[in-house]
């Protein structure tokens, strides 16, 4: 009998938590609190309303910067994949964008636009857009012009051509960009919050770091990890399955 994949995933996660518990027991120090303490702390922070508040603020920032980065990155990526001249013209900027440290864009955005949410989201989007562009450009280069000729011969409207003929060819690339994108954005949003916002998980982590409150830090991390796993299993995986079911 083979195990269903959800069971394998759950067991592997439980294994990780057990490993953590074992190490915590062995170290026996306040620097590594065991899972049950962290869980209790997460519960405390949750019922006080503090954790949900900061988590929702962070989620909002992640969502907006994700959407902005995906939309702009996809548009630029398609254009660069399609038009050779534009590709050459923007390639230098792209390489620069890929390699500028996140910290630099964050600091500059805060200095130029003030310590605001707009600056924070701009900084995150700027960090993410180049990687979306690179992935989507690859997809746009691989688009099958023979299928586009079918759309042209049958006089499909530009909208139908885009939605039914063009974009489906990009879906695997868009999914890859979205997955990688979410992972990167989570990380950068926390840094942005730590450096210049007065709420959100990044800000909270910073505060607990000042107090050396490791249990709370881990509690926030745990809540955050839970949300990521939920998004992955309830949104990303089902969406990917739906978009690629014709390959079976």
Partner 1 sequence: MKQLDVDIHAKRFGDHTVLRELRFSAAPGEFIALVGPSGAGKSTLLHLIAGLDNQFTGSIHWNGQPLYQGNQGVERLGMMFQEPRLMPWLSCLDNIRLVQPNRDTDKAVTLLRDVGLGDFLNAWPNQLSGGMQRRLALARAFVVAPQLLLMDEPFVSLDMPTGDRLRDSLQSLWQRHKPLVLFVTHDLREALSLADRILFLSASPGHIILDFKVSLARPRRREDPAVTALQEQLDKRYPSLLSGRLQHE
Classify residue 245 by its DSSP letter: G
Candidate segments 98-106, 201-209, 210-218, 239-247, binder of partner 1 by CB under 8 A: 239-247
**Can residue 164 be called a binding residue for partner 1 (CB under 8 A)?**
yes
Distance CA 98, CA 62 (A): 19
The residue assigned the tokens 């998004």 is 231
Contact with partner 1 (CB under 8 A) among 12, 49, 85, 153: 153
- Residue nearer to partner 1 on the CB measure, 48 or 160: 160
Q: Are 137 and 127 in contact (CB under 8 A)?
A: no
Candidate segments 35-43, 102-110, 149-157, 208-216, binder of partner 1 by CB under 8 A: 149-157
**Can residue 156 be called a binding residue for partner 1 (CB under 8 A)?**
yes
**Can residue 43 be called a binding residue for partner 1 (CB under 8 A)?**
no
- Residue nearer to partner 1 on the CB measure, 31 or 247: 247
The residue assigned the tokens 């530009």 is 158
* Half-sphere exposure in the Cβ direction for 91 (13 Å, CA): 8
Q: Which residues of 203-230 are buried (b: 16+ CB within 10 A; e: fewer)?
A: bbbbebeeeebbbbbbbbebbbeebeee
Helices (H), 83-213: 84-99, 102-113, 117-141, 145-153, 158-160, 167-196, 201-211
The contacts of residue 94 (CB under 8 Å, 6+ apart) are: 80, 130, 133, 134
Candidate segments 49-57, 114-122, 150-158, 185-193, binder of partner 1 by CB under 8 A: 150-158
Candidate segments 27-35, 74-82, 164-172, 186-194, binder of partner 1 by CB under 8 A: 164-172
Min dist CB 157 to partner 1, Å, is: 9
Contact with partner 1 (CB under 8 A) among 2, 198, 210, 247: 247
Classify residue 247 by its DSSP letter: G
**Can residue 152 be called a binding residue for partner 1 (CB under 8 A)?**
yes
**Can residue 147 be called a binding residue for partner 1 (CB under 8 A)?**
yes
Size, binding site for partner 1 by CB under 8 A: 18
Binding site for partner 1 (CB under 8 A): 146-147, 149-150, 152-156, 160, 164-165, 168, 171, 243, 246-248
């Amino acid at each position: 009998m083979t195990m269903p994949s959800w069971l394998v995933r759950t067991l592997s996660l439980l294994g990780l938590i057990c490993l953590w518990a074992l190490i915590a027991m062995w170290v026996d120090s306040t620097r590594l609190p065991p899972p049950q303490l962290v869980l209790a702390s997460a519960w405390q922070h949750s019922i006080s309303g503090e954790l949900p508040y900061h988590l929702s603020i962070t989620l909002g920032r992640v969502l907006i910067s994700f959407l902005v980065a995906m939309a702009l990155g996809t548009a630029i990526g398609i254009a660069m994949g399609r038009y050779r001249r534009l590709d050459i013209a923007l390639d230098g900027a792209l390489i620069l964008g890929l390699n500028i440290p996140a910290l630099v864009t964050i600091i500059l955005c805060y200095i130029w636009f003030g310590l605001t949410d707009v600056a924070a989201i701009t900084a995150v989007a700027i960090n993410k857009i180049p990687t979306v562009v690179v992935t989507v450009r690859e997809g746009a280069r691989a688009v099958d012009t023979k299928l586009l000729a079918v759309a042209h011969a049958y006089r499909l409207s530009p909208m139908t051509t885009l939605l039914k003929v063009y974009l489906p060819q990009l879906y695997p690339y868009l999914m890859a960009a979205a997955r990688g994108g979410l992972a990167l954005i989570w990380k950068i949003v926390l840094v942005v919050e730590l450096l210049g916002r007065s709420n959100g998980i990044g800000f909270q982590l910073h505060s607990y770091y000042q107090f050396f409150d490791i249990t709370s830090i881990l509690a926030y991390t745990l809540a955050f990890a839970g949300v990521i796993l939920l998004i992955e299993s309830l949104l990303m995986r089902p969406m990917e399955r739906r978009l690629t079911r014709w390959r079976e």
